[in-house]
């Protein structure tokens, strides 16, 4: 394609995604799910609830070391219908993503819902953030999530659910005792002072999610925010238990159709500020 200004203008013209009054619409039956970062925390709780849900037929639990995850071993015990499939994916390692996608293709031929949950955080102020640390955060939270999405795109297009969900960031900075709710990834809403690199990476994730949504209007691609949840990352002072956050997010994921693509939603269904 030529790179002249008018073809670029056409290529990047805002496609004006129609947003209905409610971003929720009747969703198709969803059956196959893939969750990254499934070894512990929110990812493991997604997998647990999906395995128990009558709406799922297959649940891919993707983790760096799925077989050594204590949480996944426990979930395996309650997987009475044999829905749970372990996948080895380190989202920093493209070769591991490619190999796992081949396994999904062979097993299912398509994928209905991708939940990009893997992520890392760190606590520096921006002035203390080294280039190396910023790159580490961007590599996992943005590049890794992007590469997983890219690798699974053709399988998601073949699925009936056609949804990609990225996990956004909100941090209540209890460690600096402000307790002001801070949407760290939100440019408009964030006051967080000690997680500037993490916030920056999640802002970039928000941005790339919107680009994905604009480029693929046949899919529902959106951000879901879990709330402040008790996990290794959220800490023990967090406001929410994992089961409450995940139950809410799964309801949001189920209800959100293409009309909600390119938006940022809370676990309670609210629309969040960018
Ligand atoms: N908890 C909260 O309050 C909160 C709030 C807002 C957003 N979030 C977001 O929700 C997501 C999950 O958070 P969490 O609280 O469950 O965090 P967590 O308890 O720290 O768990 C992080 C998960 O991500 C995985 N992971 C990290 N790097 C990975 C990589 N390169 N490849 C594959 N997996 C990787 C970890 O796997 P290993 O076990 O192998 O390390 C682990 O399963 C993150 O994206 C986070 O930013 C959380």
pLDDT at residue number 6: 39
Q: Is 182 in the pocket of ligand 1 (CB under 6 A)?
A: no
Q: Is 233 in the pocket of ligand 1 (CB under 6 A)?
A: yes
Looking at the chain, the whole-number percentage of residues with pLDDT higher than 90 is 74
Q: What CA–CA distance (Å, rounded) separates 261 from 205?
A: 14
Tell me how far apart the terminal alpha carbons of the chain are, to the nearest angstrom. 32
**Can you give the residue ranges of every domain in the chain?**
27-266
Helix axes 131-138, 196-215, angle to 10 degrees: 40
The helix or strand, by DSSP H or E, that contains position 8, with its residue range, turns out to be helix 5-12
Over residues 44-73, the mean pLDDT reads 98
pLDDT at residue number 272: 86
CA–centroid distance, 15 to ligand 1, in Å, is 33
Give the max Cα distance, the chain.
58
> Is pLDDT at 12 greater than 60 in this prediction?
no
Query: Any idea which of 21-25, 224-228, 240-244, 258-262 has the lowest mean pLDDT?
Result: 21-25
How does the average pLDDT of the chain come out, rounded? 85
Bridge partners of 256, per DSSP, are 24
> 27-266: what fold?
Rossmann fold (3.40.50)
Bridge partners of 166, per DSSP, are 116, 223
41-to-7, 38, 117, 120, 168 alpha-carbon distances in Å:
45, 8, 10, 12, 15
Q: What is the DSSP string of 26-55?
A: PPPP--EEEEESTTSHHHHHHHHHHHH-TT
pTM: 0.89
Over residues 151-173, the mean pLDDT reads 83
89, 90, 116, 119, best to mutate for ligand 1 pocket (most atoms within 8 Å of CB):
119
Locate the ligand 1 atom nearest the alpha carbon of residue 116 and give its number: 45
Bridge partners of 240, per DSSP, are 229
């Amino acid at each position: 394609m030529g790179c002249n200004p008018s073809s670029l203008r056409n290529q990047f013209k805002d496609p004006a995604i129609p947003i209905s009054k409610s971003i929720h619409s009747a969703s198709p039956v969803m059956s196959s799910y893939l969750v990254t970062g499934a070894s512990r925390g929110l990812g493991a709780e997604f997998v647990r609830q999906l395995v128990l849900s009558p709406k799922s037929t297959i649940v891919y639990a993707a983790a760096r070391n799925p077989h050594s995850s204590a949480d996944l071993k426990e979930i395996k015990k309650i997987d009475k219908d044999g829905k749970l499939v372990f996948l080895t994916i380190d989202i920093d390692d493209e070769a591991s993503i490619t190999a796992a996608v081949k396994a999904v293709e062979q097993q299912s031929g398509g994928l209905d819902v991708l939940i990009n949950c893997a992520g890392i955080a760190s606590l520096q102020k921006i002035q203390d953030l080294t280039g190396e640390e910023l790159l580490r955060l961007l590599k996992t939270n943005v590049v890794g999530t992007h590469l997983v999405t890219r690798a699974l795109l053709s399988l998601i297009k073949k699925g009936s659910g056609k949804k990609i969900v990225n996990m956004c960031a909100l941090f209540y900075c209890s460690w600096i005792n402000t307790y002001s709710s801070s949407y760290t990834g939100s440019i408009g809403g964030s006051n967080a002072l000690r997680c500037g690199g993490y916030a920056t990476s999640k802002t970039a994730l928000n941005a790339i999610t919107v680009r994905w949504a604009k480029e693929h209007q046949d899919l529902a691609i959106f951000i879901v925010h879990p709330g402040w949840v008790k996990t290794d990352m959220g800490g023990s002072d967090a406001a929410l238990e994992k089961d409450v956050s995940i139950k809410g997010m799964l309801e949001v994921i189920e209800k959100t159709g293409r009309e909600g693509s390119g938006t940022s939603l809370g676990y309670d269904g609210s629309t969040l500020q960018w």
